[in-house]
Amino acid sequence: MSTMINELGLKEIIREIVKEELLKLTLKLTPYVSNEEMQDIEKAVLEEDLTDDNFVDGMKWLGQ
């Protein structure tokens, strides 16, 4: 018994698998941050530094 998949369907399946694997890789490569380190980070970043002007829209950056 065989299943036929059209080219568009195959591309979508591959796209989803690649997304999942990239997310897994990203999570594995993200370093652990202890509570003490996180508090230090929060102290170092001022609330006024967190404006939309200081961030890049990741989806736009990826062309989506």
**Torsion angle of alpha carbons 57, 64, 24, 20, nearest 10°?**
150
* Rounded Cα–Cα distance for residues 43 and 37 (Å): 10
Start-to-end Cα distance in the chain = 38
pLDDT of residue 48: 74
Residue 33's contacts (CB-CB under 8 Å, 6 or more residues apart) are: 41
- What is residue 30's predicted lDDT score, i.e. its pLDDT? 92
Q: Could you tell me where the beta strands, DSSP code E, fall in 1-64?
A: none
Chain centre distance of CA 51: 20
pLDDT value at residue 23: 94
For 6-64, how does the pLDDT look when each residue is reduced to its tens digit (9 = 90+)?
A: 999 999 999 999 999 999 999 999 999 999 999 998 888 877 777 777 777 888 878 77
